[in-house]
Structure 1
Amino acid sequence: MAKRIVVSYLTLLVIMSLLFVLLRSMPGSFITSMINPQMTREQIERIRETWGLNEPLWRQYVQFMINYQTGDFGRSPTYSTAVSELMLRRLPRTLILFGSTFIVGYIVGPLVGMYLGWWRGSNKDKSIFSSSLLMYSMPSFWIAWLFIWLFNYHLGWLPSSYMFTQFPEFEWTAFTVMRDVLYHLALPLLSVSFIGWVGAMLIMRPSMNNVTEEGYVFLARAKGLSERTVMLKHAARNALIPVATGAIVGLAFIIDGAVVIENVFSWPGMGQLIVNAVLSRDFPVAQAAFFVIAALIVVMRLFTDVVYTYLDPRIKFGEGE
């Protein structure tokens, strides 16, 4: 366990170093928007000193590494606020959208994969599997635009932007806030979930098919148990092990998948924040956002290594088995 934690920590240090180098390799600087031709050299130097850009690059790097390991992400020149406060405001909004999508995908996907794997090779399996692969190959933003055209422009049923009604004609209460968020959540949730469940299905289907030939499945049938009981209680429980692993790792990619969809639906979450930060060269926000994504992935992979040993007792943690 200690070895895994040390490796994870060193991985985060490497990621922080890469972020520092890559973002500062971009042309221009995030203080460019603060400088105008009427400013004197002294005023420009004062701005550079305020943001620590007059220091040698190695000293900037050392300070950057110290700050990030102590949770200090600095201040945003674009939003004029602490980056940590900005993250705390935006992250829950992304978790609402993609957390809902994650739950829907990992309920529908394993259920469909379970039935397809149990009857693998049947006409039902071939037709559903082929159509789901076709859906999975479609770009998520194209599906989002198609659903916006259908449910917003054509039918007028669902809103296509923002998390709340911008100019409400009703009084805000706990109930109206929840209802309004769900109303705005429906279309992006439908768009992402339309193809999001296929990934879990593709893991569950071969896993379910593999356990159909196991001895405990034949033993359950020999006991006279119904086909439904054998499938759900004996085969599916063991087939869910790789799906559970994929789900744990998939949690870390919630923010990563938000970049495109949040900009399509103008959802005020982490994805929209990342795009705006990169376009405006807001280094503190961009670095912190990318670091949060990387940290989630590293932590969830470490968590996966630990949890997998409890899901499958045949695996010994820290051993070559």
Structure 2
Amino acid sequence: MTRISARYLGKRLVVSYLTLLVIMSLLFVLIRSMPGSFISTMITPELDQADIQQLRETWGLNEPIWRQYIEFMINYQTGDFGRSPTYKAPVWEVIISRFPRTLVLFGAAFIAQFIVGPLVGMYLGWWRGTRKDKTIFTSSLAVYSMPAFWLAWLVIWLFNYELGWFPSTYMFTKFAEFDWTVVNIITDVLKHITLPLVSIAFVSWVGAMLVMRPAMNNVTSEDYVFLAQAKGLSERTVMIKHAARNALIPVATQAIVGLAFLLNGSVIIENVFSWPGLGQVLVTSVLSRDYPVSQAAFFMLAILIVVMRLATDIAYTYLDPRIKFGGD
């Protein structure tokens, strides 16, 4: 029997929709609060005032700000992101060509951090106070204090410049002269993704561990854990099946925060490794005042976070049988 009611799910969908409307409004205000516009990059000495006015009319910048806002809200809710003045292409084409590459890199990092982090946190919470716990916990805090961009340059220096094991730029080898089979392409992409993935996951897993460790320690004193031990179940079974499952509740919440930080780090990591993803597009579009692309890129990231937040609410009901959303 499901533990989440249709009424509650409907409310959450409405709240998610309203959240996106607020985000869209903030995007509109913040992007247009930047000094200058992309029109300034198009102006040359040969253009007179009439030509400049024609440019502004073509891109809709001569309209009153309230009308621009209404058109923006309507267009975004119908999937019309406009055309990019920088890339000379529809914004959807720019986003669609880059967004999957960001998902590949940061999806892999997200999975890695929420496999390693909770696993380490589970064992540290179970062993809390022991020498193993103190040693690993102290070392992980030192790792957590490392800036991502500094670690990225460090792994590039070691594994690319010194050892030459992995490439440090792009998603695949450009103009490579080898047999373009499926296996070779996958192998080449895996080589290119290794260094940026290590740079992100090496630090980010600690956040999940810091949440899992105290949660795991708290559930070890629960009655159902003592009951499982009294039944003669193995320590591994009690730890994983009875204690860890309930300790995952706060970790699921932290996953949304972790996703936001990962996406925020995409701007730095993608530019350090020249990864052709959405983070690189964000930097280019903001610097060139490309309103359509920068708004759409931020909006797509916002959708991802809001959808993940909704999925987390649903996941709660499966992680803890005691939770029932939308009941009396």
2:255 aligned residue? 247
Equivalent pairs: percent with the same residue?
Answer: 72
The aligned runs of 1:25-104 (5 Å cut-off) are 25-104=33-112
DSSP-derived class of the 1:166 partner: coil
Please give the secondary structure, in 2, of the residue aligned with 1:257: helix
Verify the 8 A CA contact 2:83 2:292 in the aligned structure 1: yes
Structure 1, residues 37-74: CA drift from partner, whole Å, max 9, x if none? 11122222221111111111111111011001111111
Structure 1 counterpart of 2:20, one-letter code: L
* Residue-pair matches, total: 320
Distance in 1 separating the partners of 2:14 and 2:242:
38
For 1:109 and 1:253, locate their aligned partners in 2 and report how far apart those are by CA, in whole Å: 15
| 2:125 aligned with 1:154 | no
Whether the 8 Å CA contact 1:245–1:308 is kept in 2: the answer is: no
Residue 217 of structure 1 aligns with which residue?
225
Q: Secondary structure at the match of 1:313?
A: coil
Would you say 1:191 and 2:172 are equivalent positions? no
Cα distance, 1:17 vs structure 2: 1.3
Name the aligned partner's letter for residue 242 of structure 2: H
Worse overlay, 236-245 or 13-22: 236-245
CA RMSD, 1 decimal: 1.7
Deviations 1:218-272 (A, max 9, x none): 1111112222222122212222232234335644654333111111111000111
Cα distance in 1 between the residues matched to 2:49 and 2:179: 52
| Structure 2 residues without counterparts, runs of 5 or longer | 1-7
Greater Cα shift, 269-278 or 196-205: 196-205
How big is each residue's C-alpha offset from its partner over 1:63-93, in whole Å with a ceiling of 9 and x where there is no partner? 0110011111111111011111111111110
Counterpart CA distance in 2 for 1:217 and 1:310 is 19
Alpha carbons 2:256, 2:305 under 8 Å: kept:
no
Q: 2:74, 2:236 → 1: CA distance?
A: 57
- In structure 2, the residue matched to 1:273 is 281
Please name the residue that 2:120 is paired with. Answer: 112
Q: Does 1:282 align with 2:290?
A: yes
**Using the alignment, how far apart are the partners of 1:240 and 1:40 within structure 2?**
64
* Counterpart check, 1:145 vs 2:127: no
8 Å Cα contact 2:252/2:312 also seen in 1 = no
TM-score computed with the length of structure 2 as normaliser: 0.92
Q: What is the TM-score when the length of structure 1 is the normalising length?
A: 0.94
CA contact (8 A) 1:249 1:301 kept: no
SS in 1 for 2:102: helix
Amino acid at match of 1:123: R
Q: Distance in 1 between matches of 2:123 and 2:273?
A: 34
Q: Which amino acid aligns with 2:94?
A: L
1:13 positional shift:
1.5
Of residues 31-40 and 113-122 in structure 1, the stretch that sits farther from structure 2 once superposed is: 31-40
Cα separation, 1, equivalents of 2:314 and 2:231: 35
Q: By how many angstroms is 1:19 displaced?
A: 1.1
Distance 2:179 2:228 in 1: 59
1:206-227 Cα deviation digits (max 9, x unpaired): 1111111111111111112222
* 1:147–1:126 CA distance, 2 compared to 1 (3 A): same
What are the residue-to-residue correspondences of 1:288-307 with 2, within 5 Å?
Answer: 288-307=296-315
> Given the alignment, which residue of 136, 139, 159 partners 2:144?
136
